[in-house]
Structure 1
Amino acid sequence: MHWFYLVLAIAFETIGTTALKTSEGFTKLWPSVITLGCFFTALFLLSLVLKTVPVGVTYAIWSGLGIVLISAIGWVAFGQKLDLPAILGMALIVAGIVVMQVFSNTAGH
């Protein structure tokens, strides 16, 4: 169940970050409300994950997948450019997560 909570936490964090972009520095009400609600929910879910998964592993997955997802959203929704070094860097992040999950004994399986 902890992996499901982590996926949900990443999803809420990604939605919250997207809303943060549209909140224009917390000057727009509804994007600001969505941002705060999503961040609160993401942190609550993350706290549940940390009961069973080591903090380093949890944070590596949380931040790594968050970077990839929010970069993809930035590209699709906001026209942010992703050059080859950025794409390669994100591929290395994903590869690192996979290596950690498949080969590491610290992943909390």
Structure 2
Amino acid sequence: MPAFLLLGFAIVSEVIATLALRASDGFSRPLPVVAVIVGYGLSFWLLALALKHIPVSLTYAIWSGVGTALIAVGGVLAFGETMNAMKLASLAVIVLGVAGLSVAGGAH
């Protein structure tokens, strides 16, 4: 499987786990707790596989940056959290930073 696809699946797993962490209500709801444990475990495993082929600086920047942006959007959609212009601008800066790392030669 291509490394960037593994990384994409790692990001999705991490996002699901983080949203489940919020839904777990302090680890008091069993189904979300299982999703947290499985999601983070799967995410780190896929991240480790991606790191075999992608430099760590680029891999972690993409994983954390894209994950952060998706979690912010997921929080708005799933939990009714607020989104304003400053939050959107901040997320755009994160995405631009990840893109900048990629363009700067992080990928092989």
- Give the whole-Å Cα distance in 1 for the aligned partners of 2:58 and 2:101: 8
Gaps of at least 5 residues in structure 1 are: none
Residue in structure 2 matched with residue 25 of structure 1 by the alignment = 26
Aligned to 2:70, the other structure's residue is in SS state helix
Residue in structure 1 matched with residue 104 of structure 2 by the alignment = 104
Alignment of 1:4-83 (within 5 A): 4-83=5-84
Question: How many residues of Structure 1 are paired with residues of Structure 2 in the alignment?
Answer: 107
- Give the whole-Å Cα distance in 2 for the aligned partners of 1:96 and 1:4: 20
- Give the whole-Å Cα distance in 2 for the aligned partners of 1:71 and 1:86: 9
Query: CA RMSD, aligned part only?
Result: 0.9
The Cα shift of 1:98 comes to: 1.8
Gaps of at least 5 residues in structure 2 are: none
Structure 1 segments of 4+ aligned residues over 4 angstroms from their partners: none
- Give the whole-Å Cα distance in 2 for the aligned partners of 1:90 and 1:108: 22
- Aligned residue type for 1:17: T
Aligned to 1:104, the other structure's residue is in SS state helix
- Aligned residue type for 1:104: A
Deviations 1:57-105 (A, max 9, x none): 111111100110000011111111112111101011111222222x212
Percent identical: 36
Are 1:52 and 1:108, in contact at CA under 8 Å, matched by a contact in 2?
A: no
Aligned to 1:24, the other structure's residue is in SS state coil
- Give the whole-Å Cα distance in 2 for the aligned partners of 1:75 and 1:31: 18
| TM-score, structure 1 as length reference | 0.93
- Give the whole-Å Cα distance in 2 for the aligned partners of 1:28 and 1:77: 17
